[in-house]
Structure 1
Amino acid sequence: MELLEIIKKVSDTIIENRDYLTDLDREIGDGDHGVNLARGFEKIEAELPKMTDMKPADIFNKMTMLLMSNVGGASGALYATALMKATAYLKKTETVSPNDIVAIWDEMIKGIQMRGKAVKGEKTMLDTQIPAYEALKSAVEGGKDIKEAFKDALAQGEIGMNSTKDIIATKGRASYLGERSIGHLDPGSVSSYLIIKTICEELNK
């Protein structure tokens, strides 16, 4: 099943980048972003063989539960909330069209905004996700297939991720640094970018 293959690759990517994400977080945060996320995705990867006959909504629900119970810190709550929103949407549909993917991502972002009480421009994962989502939405509405749309999303997500280097953090532990947070990438924006990049690469194989 293609969805499970993508989830496996996303899990691999986060696990492989555990130290990189942790080092980024050590510079401006608690120093646990990579360690925490990798722990959650290791649990997800271990459970994938049991998900082969599950519907997408059930797969996302299982991932939500695994992240909530295994990932500490803000990142676990934010990513779990996003997956919970995806689960709720998927329960209402039998198919997953490009328009559905746009709607699901929109719901996920709303969940992150609600849980993190953040908006774009505050040095968070939203600085990657919102530009990427907007590019995907524009591409799908313009008639591009999902593979090409994700290429557009990846390009804008990368720009958004890199923009966090120039933003003063106002959320989380990084906000304690004030102007000293300038010059550092936000770890959540980087993990979001890595996830989008992996999905894009898998779709375009």
Structure 2
Amino acid sequence: MTSIGSPELSKMFDAIAAAIAADKDRLCQLDGVIGDADHGIAMELGFNAARDAVAGLDLAATDPTALLNTAAKSFLNAVGASSGPLYATAFMRGAAAVKGKTKLGADDAIAMFQAMAQGIKDRGKAELGEKTMVDAWQPAAEAAGAARAAGKSLADSLAVALAAAERGAEATKDMIAAKGRSSRLGERSLGHVDPGAASAVTVIGAMAQSLNSAIPGKV
């Protein structure tokens, strides 16, 4: 039986922070082409702050909603750039999706994941095709939901989500940026992967790996 509680979610933030730290230089390089070359730094600051704040909680006495809200607040306090409000909203929406639960089943975990993606989309007022992290998050959330609805395990649903995110990020190469600082470049943004979409793949990959390791079986 799949069961994910606050200790497992804390480990998830450990995994995301480690993955972002390892990918920071690549993300900054991607951002250097169409932005301010600081995306990797901002993401590292945010996820390190979220990891540290969550680690300081009494996990036995903290439910997933409180943990995710703590992560949201700490991320926002650490990152003033656009990714701050986006990921803070993601975690707050994820928190709301699992309110009242102390343990998350597979359906709960997918609902949390989908709520995070919707939060990013709503906060950024972005749509598919505008060369943002939504181009990775939205396909991932849709794929995860469809896979779970078809009876796939949480592990398989998250694997499908990661593959969709990877395809979505790669597709941003062929898009003209319509949001954020990179939109000033117009057609010069063509041919480059959006750094926000690239970091979304890193985040989703770390989430999938961490949550999968917390699953005793293939439920």
Match of 2:40 among 30, 34, 48: 34
- 1:155-180 per-residue CA deviation (whole Å, 9 max, x = no partner) reads 11111110011111000001000010
CA distance in 2, matches of 1:200, 1:101: 10
What is the match of residue 86 of structure 1? 94
CA distance in 2, matches of 1:34, 1:85: 23
Q: Are 2:130 and 1:122 equivalent residues in the alignment? A: yes
Counterparts in 2 of 1:58 and 1:129: CA distance versus 1, 3 Å: same
What is the match of residue 157 of structure 1? 165
Q: Shift in Å at residue 108 of structure 1?
A: 2.1
Q: In structure 2, give the amino acid aligned to 1:166.
A: D
User: Unmatched 5+ residue regions in structure 2?
Assistant: 1-6, 214-219
Q: Shift in Å at residue 94 of structure 1?
A: 4.2
TM-score (norm 2): 0.88
What is the match of residue 7 of structure 1? 13
Counterparts in 2 of 1:9 and 1:186: CA distance versus 1, 3 Å: same
Q: In structure 2, give the amino acid aligned to 1:96.
A: L
The runs of at least 4 aligned residues of structure 1 exceeding 6 Å deviation read none
CA distance in 2, matches of 1:115, 1:44: 19
Q: Shift in Å at residue 117 of structure 1?
A: 1.1
Q: Secondary structure at the match of 1:6?
A: helix
Match of 2:66 among 53, 58, 83: 58
CA distance in 2, matches of 1:204, 1:197: 11
What is the match of residue 143 of structure 1? 151
Deviating more after overlay: 36-45 vs 127-136: 36-45
Q: In structure 1, give the amino acid aligned to 2:14.
A: K
What is the match of residue 17 of structure 1? 23
Match of 2:109 among 75, 86, 101: 101
User: Unmatched 5+ residue regions in structure 1?
Assistant: none
